[in-house]
Amino acid sequence: MSQLKKVNNAAYKTTIVIGAGTIKQMAWYFTNILFFKNTFNVSSGSKVFLLKLFGARVGTGVVIKPGVNIKYPWKLSIGNYSWIGESAWIDNLSDVSLGESVTVSQGALILTGSHDHTKESFDFISFPVVLENGVWIGAKAVVYGGVTAGTHSILGINAVAENNLRPYTVYKGNPAVPVLKRTIH
- Do residues 74 and 94 make contact, with C-beta atoms less than 8 angstroms apart? no
Instruction: Report whether pLDDT(112) > 60.
Output: yes
Cβ contacts of 33 within 8 Å, gap of 6 or more: none
Q: What is the mean pLDDT of residues 57-83?
A: 98
Q: Residue 2 has what pLDDT?
A: 62
Q: How far apart are CA 84 and CA 56, in angstroms?
A: 14
pTM recorded for the entire structure: 0.94
Give the mean pLDDT of the chain: 95
Question: Which is it for strands 124-126 and 113-115: parallel, antiparallel or unpaired?
Answer: antiparallel
Q: What is the mean pLDDT of residues 152-159?
A: 98
Least confident of 1-5, 94-98, 110-114: 1-5
> Cα-Cα-Cα-Cα dihedral of 91, 130, 152, 179, to 10°?
-70
- For the stretch 8-46, pLDDT in tens is 888 877 778 899 999 999 999 999 999 999 999 899 999
Closest Cα partner for 165 from 177, 180, 183, 182? 177
Domain boundaries, the chain: 20-181
Q: What's the DSSP call for residue 34?
A: I
Q: Residue 121 has what pLDDT?
A: 84
Q: Which residues are paired to 20 by β-bridges? A: none
Instruction: Report whether pLDDT(185) > 70.
Output: yes
Q: Residue 1 has what pLDDT?
A: 53
Burial class (CB in 10 A: 0-12, 13-18, 19+), 118: exposed
Using DSSP's 3-state secondary structure scheme, residue 36 falls into helix
Instruction: Report whether pLDDT(87) > 90.
Output: yes
CATH of domain 20-181: 2.160.10.10
Instruction: Report whether pLDDT(48) > 70.
Output: yes
